Structure 1
Amino acid sequence: MTYYKKTLATLCAIGASSSAFAANDLNHGIAFNGFTGIFHTPTAAVMNKGDVDIGYSNQLEIRDKYTDGHNFTFSAGLFDGLEVSGRITSSSMHDNLYSYENDGQIRDLSFNAKYQIPFIPKDWFTIALGAKDIGGAANNYEAYYAVVSKELWDFRFSAGMGSSDAQIGQLNGAFAGVEYQPFTWLSILAEHDSEAFNLGAKVTIPKEWLYDIATVSINSRFYSNTELADEDTYWGINISMPLSDQAQSSYTEPKAAPTPDNTQTASVAKKDRKPQFEVSTLANSNSMQTVSKPKKVEQSNQVNNQSIHGLKSALSNDGFENLRVGLSDSDLIIVEFENSVFNRNEIDALGLVLGRITENFPEGNNDFIVRLSKLDIPILQVSGQLENYRRFISENITPDLLVKTQFTSQDTKSIKWAGNTTKTSPYFVPRVTFSPSLSSRHATEFGVLDYSLALQADLNIPIWQGAGINVTGQVNVANTSHFEERRIFSNSRQETGIKRAVAYQTFSLPFNIYNQTQVGLFQDYFDYMGITNETAWQSPAGAHKLKAKIGYFEYKDYNTDKRDYSLLSYRYLWAEKDVSFHITGGQFWNEDTGYKLETKFWFGDANLRLMYIDTDVQKVGIGFSIPLSPRKDMSAGNWQVKGAKNWGHSVNTVINQDVNLINRTSAVTPTSSIDLDKTFFNQDRMSSSYIYSHLARLKEAFEIYR
C-alpha cells in the first residue's frame, strides 16, 4: 500500500508542478458516489452546465464493508462550476426493511454538491470543494473534501484531503487518483481513496456514435487491495446528455453592432430616429449598440399593400390567432397576434413573426411594431427598424430593438388593416393537453421506488377576454403494490376521475399589474369547492416580481372542514445566466406557516431547481421541469391537442431531525393548469431582459420554421 501511495503522490506532484504542456480534452466520469471522479474519489472536474447524468452501479457501502447492492445516481451541472447529485443506495429493490428477515439492510437517499473554484487559468490546475451526503437524518456517507486536478498530455492527476466519520474510511484523510486516456473511448483509472488502492477502466461511447443523443460510459473496478470488500470487481454504467438543445450555450451570440465612423452620421441618425424606438437603458446594458439609420427607401402604396397582405397570409398559415396586420400613413408596420402553436416558449413565436416581416418587406427601412397578446390581454411589444433587423438575420449583428411590457394602442390610429384572410379567434376552441400525473416515494423502507401513474387530460376553453373554463381529469394507468387500495401509500394514489374544474378571469391592470381569480372544484386534496386569487407585479425590465396568492376552500359535502392559504413571494430573474431566485412565505394549504426558498436554473425550456423549506419541518430537495411537446404544436382550428409545455417532478428529504420521516404535506398549495406564470408570463420569462438575453433564439426560430 505504501508503494501505491508513493507512486500516486509522485505522479500528482509532477502533474501539479508542470504547466508547460497544454491539456488535452479528457472525458470526465461519474464515481460510484454520484460526483465527477474515479471510483470513490472526486476530481476537480465538474459537469458542464446543463448536462445531466443518470447512473447505476452495483457496489454497496454498508457500515464497514463493500458488498453487492444497488446505487442509483442523478447528477447535473447547474451553473458554471456548480454540480449537484442525488444518490439512492439500497441493499435490495423491494424488500420491506421492517421485516425481521431483512434486518441489517440499508436504503438511503442522499445529496452531494461540488463547486469548482473560478478564476484559475485552466492550463494551470483546477480546485474544487465538495460535500457528500449533506443534510438528511442518517448521514451514512457524509464527507467533506478539497481536491486539485491537473491535466497533462493524456493524463488527469488529482489529489486532495477529506474528512469523514464513515466506518469504511473513504475520503478520511489524503486521497489521490490518476486517469489515463490513450483513446477517446478508453480510460485507465487508478486511485487511493484514503483506505485502499483501486484500479479499473472506463469505456466511453461518444454521443456522435449514438445519433447525438447521449454519451454512455461503462466502468469497472477490477482490482482493490481493501480488506473490506466481499468482491474485487464492481461495475457501473452512466448515461449523460444535455438537458436541452435550446440552452444559451447552444447558440452563437450575435456580434456587436459596428460604431458609426463619425459623429455627424450618428447625430443625423439620432435626429431622424423616432422617439419610441430609442434604445432603453436595459438594451444598452446588454451591449446593444445602435446602427446608424440609413435613408428610408420609399415604396409605392401598391408594393406596400401587397407586402402587408402577404405578411398576414404567411402568419395565418403559421397558425397564429387574433391576427391583425396593418400599415400606417407613415409606413409603420404593425402586427398584433396571439400565439397558440409555440407553447414551449413565446420567444419562438416572436422570432418567426419578426423574420416574416423582413421576408415580406425585402426592401425599405420601415419602422415596425409587433404586439403579443394572450386572450386579448396585451403582454409584450417589440419595436424596431427593418434594415437593422435584416442585418441581424443575414449577418448576425445585434439588432436594435425596444421591448416593452407596458404600452398603449394610441399610436395605431390611421392604420390600414389587411383583411384578405379570416381573423382566427382563440375563443370557444377546445384545447386538450396530455401529460403524466405521478405520485412517487423514493428510498423508503418499503422499496427503492414506489409510484402511482395516471394519464392526465387538461381541457381549456377560452370564452372571452382573459377568461375561460378549465377542466382536468385523469385515468389511472399503473401502480406499484404499495399504492394499491388499503396499502401504505394508498392515500396518495392517482385516482381516475375529475381533479379540477374551474372558471377563471384575468385582468391587466395599470403599472404592470396582473390579477387572476379562479373559482370551482379542487379535488387534488379531497373534495373542496374553492376560490383563489393571484396578483402579480413585474418591474418594467422583468428582473423583479412580487406576487400575492390567497385561497379559501370548503369541503363540498359539509362545511365543517374549511381551508385557506395566503402567500407572498418575491422573484429575482438573472436573465443573462438563466437563473431565478424565489422566496415564498406565509400560511400554506395544511395550515403550516413558514417559507420556501427556490433557485431555478433554466436550460432552454427545461429547468432544474433546488429547494429549501422551513415550515413545520425543514426539507431540502431537487426537482426538474421538462417540455413534453415539440417546439411547435399543431395549429388550432376547431380544436387543438398538444403535450404539456412543462412537466415537473421533485424529490426532497427532511433534514435536521433524528428520523427521516416521509413528509408530503409541508409548503403545498392546490394547483391549477391555468395561472399567471404558465398562461400569461411564458413560464415566468415574459420580460424585456429575457428577450435581450436570448436574441440568438429569435433568429434561430425563424431560420428553422420559415
Structure 2
Amino acid sequence: MPLHIASPLSLLTIAIAASLPSIAQASSVDNLPSSQSYTGLMFIPNAQVIDTGGFNLSFHQGVPHQNSIASIDDWFFGAGVFKGLEAGGRIVTQSYDCNSYLENNCGIRDLSMSVKYQLPFVYDYTGLNLAVGIQDLGGTGNHFETKYVVADKTFDALKLRLSAGYGQSNLEFGIMDGPFAGAEWQPLSFMQITGEYDASEFNANAKLFTPEGLLPYGAQLSLDYELYTGHQNSDQTVWGLNATIPLFGYGSNKREQLSVEQQQRLQQALTQQLDNHKNSSLQGLISALKNDGFLNIQVGKRHDKLIITLENRRYNHNPMDGVGVALGIIAANTGADTFADFEDTAKITPSTKQQEVELIMLTNGIPMFTINSDMRCYRAFLETGDNCDSMWFSSYNARIAFTRTEWLTNKESNGFGRSQIILSPQLAHRTATEYGVFDYSLALSTNLYTPLWQGAAIDIRHTLPISESDDFKSGEIWENSAYDSQIDRIFLHQAFKLPQNIMTQFSGGYIYGDYWGGMNETNWFTPNGQHSVGFKLSQFRTEDNDLPDTKDKGVRLAHYLYSQPQWDWQLELQAGEFWQGDTGFKATSSHWLGDARLSASYLTSKAQGANDYEDFVSLSISIPLTPWRDMKPNYIQVRGIDQFTYTLQTRVGDGANYLNTGLGGSNDLQHNIARQYQGQNRLTQAYFNANIQHLRNAYIKYVKITQ
C-alpha cells in the first residue's frame, strides 16, 4: 500500500529547505524516466528528453486504467533520436500468454508509440526549456492518449527543477487532463525526490540511480518508488526499474582528446606508430596493409600521383572504419623513402611536391570510393585532430580513376573465392497482440557469401530453428511464419558500377524456401550522395502451385532517398507494388546514432482485391551484431551481421486494430546495393565530409586494439 503523509507540499518544502546549506556542492538535476512514456516525474513530464544517442528501457507496475491505479505491467523503450527529440514504444499488459479470443479475463494489452520534442532556441531567449509531446500516438484503442506542452527551469544551486504545463488526456482520474506542475529535488548524486500535481491529485516518489560515469559504457540504472498518491482508488504502488545506455558507436565522430593523463600511453603508441614513416618503403607499406587483412591490394600511378587500391572486409560496422584504418596505416608507412621507392618503380622524375596519395576503396572488386590526401597533413590530423585541408572524397569518379591508373604491382591477397560465413539471429515475432505479449520464432542464420569475379558472388543462407513460442508451433495461428531447418536462399548476384554514379545489381535464384526467380536493383546517386533515386523489380514463381493460398509474387517499387549527414538523418520514400501484391506508399525517417539506426515508418497500402487502404506506423532499431574488428579475412572468414533489425508496428486510422497480412513487404536481400556496396547509403562524399573525426577515431581504436 502507498505511504500516506500529511501533505506532499510539506515534503517538498522540507526538501528545498534541507538543500540550502549545501548550495556550494550543488549539481545539475539528472533526467530520469517517469512511469509514463516520457522523461519526467511520476505521472507528469518535464521539458527534458533522453540524451541524443541514449537508449532507455523501463519496466513499471501501476498504470492509470479503468478508474484505478491498476496492477498492470508497463514496458517502455525509447531513444534520443536527435537533439531535442525522444521517441519510443510502450507495451501495457495485464497478462502475458492469455488468448483474448478464448479467455475473458486477459485484461488490457496495448502497444503504442510516443514522441516528445524540446523546442530549440526557447531557452536562449527565456531561460526556460519548453517541450511538446504525444503519448499513445495514432492507433485505434487510445487508452492512454495524452497531448501536452510543458516548461521547466533548473536551479543548479538548489539542485531543483520546477515544471509546469497543460495537457489533454484519456487517462483515468483526469490525470494530465488540464494544468499540471511538479518539482524534482536531487539532494545527492544518486537520489531524487519528486512532488507533482497531475491535474487531478498530488503525488510524490523517490528515485535512486547510479551517478553518471559510475558504470562502464556510459550506462545508468535507476529505481523509482511511489511515496504518496492522492488517488484513493489505487490497487498498486507505482514503482519501476530503468536502464539507459548510449547506442553502438554514438560519439564516433567526436574529437577524441589524447592529452589527458590517463591517455598518455595511447598518445605514445600513436606517435610510435606514425613515426614508422621515417623508415618506410613501398613494400613495407603493402605488407602492413596485407598483415591487417585488407584484400585486393595494388599500387599504381596516375599523373605522377601514388595510387593505392584495396578492399575492406574486416571492419563491418561502418564504411568509415575500414577507410580510417587503411588511411592510418598508409600515413604511418609512407615517408620520404616510400615516395623515393615509388618514383624509382614508376620511373618518374623525383619531386619535392607534397606526399599526395589517392586511396581507391573496392567492394567485390568494384571501385566504389576515392580518398585523396597529403600524408604529412594527414599524419598531423591523426596526432592532433585538426582537420586536414588537403583531404577530399568522391564516389562519382571512382570507376574512372581506377581504369585510368597504371598499376605497378600485382594484386596482393586476391579476394577471389574468399568466403564469409555470416552468423546472425533471425527473429519472427508478434508483439502485444490478442494472442500474447510476445510470440516469436528464433533461428540461427548461417549465410555463406563467396565473391567470384568483379561484382559477382554466390549467396547461400541456411536457417536453424532454436526456439519458438506456443503460437508459432504446428497447428497454431503463426505456424506458417515459423522458421524451418532449411536452405531458404540461394542466389547468384552480379553488380555493375555504370557511368554517372549509377549502381545496378541483378540477382537470380531461390528465396523464402518456396520461390524461384530474379530481381534487379538500380540506384543513382548525385555526386555528393545527398540524393538518390532508384527502383527495384522482381518476379518469383512458387514451387507449390497446387496449394490454394500460394501465388507468384514480386515487387515493382520506385524510391527516393534524401540524406542529411550533418543531422545523421535519412528520409526514404517508396511507392509501387509490394511483395504481397498490395500497392501503396511508404515513408521512412532514419536517424543514425553512431552505428545504430532508429527508424520510424508510415505505410499506407491497399491489399490486392481490397477497396480500402490500410495504414500502419512502425518503429525499428538496427544494431551491428559483430565485433568492431572482425576475424582476419582468409579463405574462410566467420563474422557476425552488420545490422540486425527489430521492428514494432501498430495500425493507425482504423476502427479496429486487427492483425494485418504482411502489407508493405519488399523481399529485401541482405546483400542488396545499399547494404553491400553503399554501407547503408553512407559511402558518400557528404557523409564523409560531415564525419571527418570518425576517420581519426577509427585509427585510434585500431591502435588501442593492436598496441
What is the TM-score with the length of structure 1 in the denominator?
Answer: 0.87
Equivalent position of 2:324 in the other structure:
351
Equivalent position of 1:608 in the other structure:
598
Which amino acid in 2 is paired with 1:542? G
Which amino acid in 2 is paired with 1:569? H
Do the aligned residues in 1 keep the contact of 2:9 with 2:195 (CA within 8 Å)?
no
Name the CA distance, whole Å, in 2 between partners of 1:306 and 1:9: 69
Which amino acid in 2 is paired with 1:578? D
Which amino acid in 1 is paired with 2:598? L
Which amino acid in 2 is paired with 1:133? D
Tell which deviates more after alignment, 556-565 or 309-318.
556-565
Match of 2:525 among 535, 538, 561: 538
Which amino acid in 2 is paired with 1:308? L
Which amino acid in 1 is paired with 2:532? K
Equivalent position of 2:238 in the other structure:
234
Q: CA deviation at 1:543?
A: 0.2
Q: CA deviation at 1:249?
A: 6.1
Q: CA deviation at 1:350?
A: 1.2
- The answer on 1:320 being equivalent to 2:312 is no
Name the CA distance, whole Å, in 2 between partners of 1:574 and 1:547: 18
Equivalent position of 1:310 in the other structure:
284
Name the CA distance, whole Å, in 2 between partners of 1:351 and 1:703: 9
Which amino acid in 1 is paired with 2:121? F
Match of 2:211 among 189, 196, 206: 206
- The answer on 1:68 being equivalent to 2:71 is yes
The Cα RMSD (Å) is: 2.8
Name the CA distance, whole Å, in 1 between partners of 2:294 and 2:288: 10
**Corresponding pairs, count:** 645
Equivalent position of 1:33 in the other structure:
36
Name the CA distance, whole Å, in 2 between partners of 1:230 and 1:557: 55
Which amino acid in 2 is paired with 1:677? A
Do the aligned residues in 2 keep the contact of 1:8 with 1:177 (CA within 8 Å)?
no
SS of alignment partner, residue 122 of structure 2: coil
Equivalent position of 1:339 in the other structure:
312
Name the CA distance, whole Å, in 2 between partners of 1:553 and 1:482: 29
Do the aligned residues in 1 keep the contact of 2:253 with 2:697 (CA within 8 Å)?
no
Q: CA deviation at 1:208?
A: 3.3
Match of 1:50 among 36, 41, 53: 53
Cα offsets for 1:444-481 (capped at 9, x unmatched): 12221111100111111111110111011111000111
Q: CA deviation at 1:248?
A: 4.8
Q: CA deviation at 1:329?
A: 8.2
SS of alignment partner, residue 642 of structure 2: coil
Equivalent position of 1:278 in the other structure:
none
Cα offsets for 1:540-589 (capped at 9, x unmatched): 00000111000111112449832222000000000111110110000111
- The answer on 1:651 being equivalent to 2:648 is yes
Name the CA distance, whole Å, in 1 between partners of 2:279 and 2:507: 44
Name the CA distance, whole Å, in 2 between partners of 1:196 and 1:69: 20
Which amino acid in 2 is paired with 1:565? V
Which amino acid in 2 is paired with 1:191? E
Name the CA distance, whole Å, in 2 between partners of 1:624 and 1:83: 14
Equivalent position of 2:220 in the other structure:
215
Q: CA deviation at 1:411?
A: 8.7
Do the aligned residues in 2 keep the contact of 1:253 with 1:696 (CA within 8 Å)?
no
- The answer on 1:677 being equivalent to 2:677 is no
Do the aligned residues in 1 keep the contact of 2:298 with 2:407 (CA within 8 Å)?
no
SS of alignment partner, residue 368 of structure 1: strand
Q: Tell me, which stretches of 5 or more residues in structure 2 are unaligned?
A: 18-22, 259-276, 337-351, 607-613
Name the CA distance, whole Å, in 1 between partners of 2:406 and 2:597: 44
Q: CA deviation at 1:101?
A: 4.3
Which amino acid in 1 is paired with 2:374? Q
Q: CA deviation at 1:62?
A: 2.1
Equivalent position of 1:381 in the other structure:
370
Name the CA distance, whole Å, in 2 between partners of 1:48 and 1:466: 41
Do the aligned residues in 2 keep the contact of 1:24 with 1:151 (CA within 8 Å)?
no
- The answer on 1:83 being equivalent to 2:86 is yes
Do the aligned residues in 2 keep the contact of 1:112 with 1:132 (CA within 8 Å)?
yes
Q: CA deviation at 1:306?
A: 5.3
Do the aligned residues in 2 keep the contact of 1:432 with 1:460 (CA within 8 Å)?
yes
Q: 1:488 to 1:168 in 2, by over 3 A?
A: farther
Which amino acid in 1 is paired with 2:81? L
Q: 1:610 to 1:374 in 2, by over 3 A?
A: same
SS of alignment partner, residue 500 of structure 2: coil
Q: 1:65 to 1:381 in 2, by over 3 A?
A: same
Q: CA deviation at 1:224?
A: 0.8
Which amino acid in 1 is paired with 2:541? E
Q: CA deviation at 1:632?
A: 1.1
Q: 1:304 to 1:228 in 2, by over 3 A?
A: closer
Do the aligned residues in 1 keep the contact of 2:37 with 2:135 (CA within 8 Å)?
no
Name the CA distance, whole Å, in 2 between partners of 1:147 and 1:410: 57
Q: CA deviation at 1:246?
A: 3.9
SS of alignment partner, residue 213 of structure 2: helix
Equivalent position of 1:245 in the other structure:
249
What is the TM-score with the length of structure 2 in the denominator?
Answer: 0.87
Q: 1:424 to 1:644 in 2, by over 3 A?
A: same
Q: CA deviation at 1:629?
A: 0.7
Cα offsets for 1:414-469 (capped at 9, x unmatched): 6543x6xx711111122110001001111112221111100111111111110111
Name the CA distance, whole Å, in 2 between partners of 1:404 and 1:639: 31
Equivalent position of 2:560 in the other structure:
570
Equivalent position of 2:120 in the other structure:
118
